[in-house]
Amino acid sequence: MSLSLYQQSVPVLQRALRNLRGVLVKADAHCQARGIDPAVLAAARLFPDMFALSRQVQIACDMAKGCVARLSGTSPERRDDGGRDLVELQARIDQTLELLQSVPTEQIDGKEELPVTVKTPFGEIHFTGEVYVQTFVLPNVYFHCATAYNILRHNGVDLGKRDFLGDA
């Protein structure tokens, strides 16, 4: 039995974002317990040339939104890069999860061979729908979720592997 394109994408993206939201909730509690300004963590990065935590979360959300938009034949939602503190970042994830929930299965399934073009700073990348999900969207979402987790862990937030993976 093979997985449909919807099953390969939407539930996986939802889980990754729910787990990322949980990590941010723990980060906020960490700040409150220690009297740390949450904006400090939102602006934290692992290395000077890497994006800050806030941008990691924004990109993970934008990847998920872009995925369902491209596969369902709509334009990716444009919004400002709001989400400068941990509460706003959680709200951004909530909005993305609502969007993912609103996309009917039939708008994604059957789009495995759909031509998908993504414009990047390095030029256009061309995919089929299934290859787009498997080799671009999911690796990017996991990369940015893992980087957000690592930024917080590096800054002392009490996180473990289960926080990243979530409950089974």
Supply the CATH number for residue 83's domain: 1.20.120.450
Pick from 46, 71, 73, 74: nearest CA to 146: 46
State yes or no: pLDDT of 8 exceeds 60.
yes
| pLDDT score at 69 | 95
DSSP for 117-156? EEEETTEEEEEEHHHHIIIIIHHHHHHHHHHHHHHHHHTT
What is the domain count for the chain? 1
Q: In terms of residue numbers, what domain contains 58?
A: 5-165
pLDDT (tens digit, 9 = 90+) per residue, 60-98?
Answer: 999 999 999 999 988 766 666 566 789 999 999 999 999
Pick from 58, 59, 55: nearest CA to 45: 55
Q: CA 50, 53, 56: angle at the middle one, nearest 5?
A: 75
Gap between the Cα atoms of 154 and 44, Å rounded: 10
pLDDT (tens digit, 9 = 90+) per residue, 9-66?
Answer: 999 999 999 999 999 999 999 999 999 999 999 999 999 999 999 999 999 999 999 9
Residue 120: φ, ψ to 5°: -125, 170
pLDDT (tens digit, 9 = 90+) per residue, 146-165?
Answer: 999 999 999 999 999 999 99
Mean pLDDT, residues 99-103 taken together = 95
Residue 79 DSSP SS3: coil
Q: Which residues contact 28 (CB under 8 A, 6 or more apart)?
A: 38, 86, 87, 90
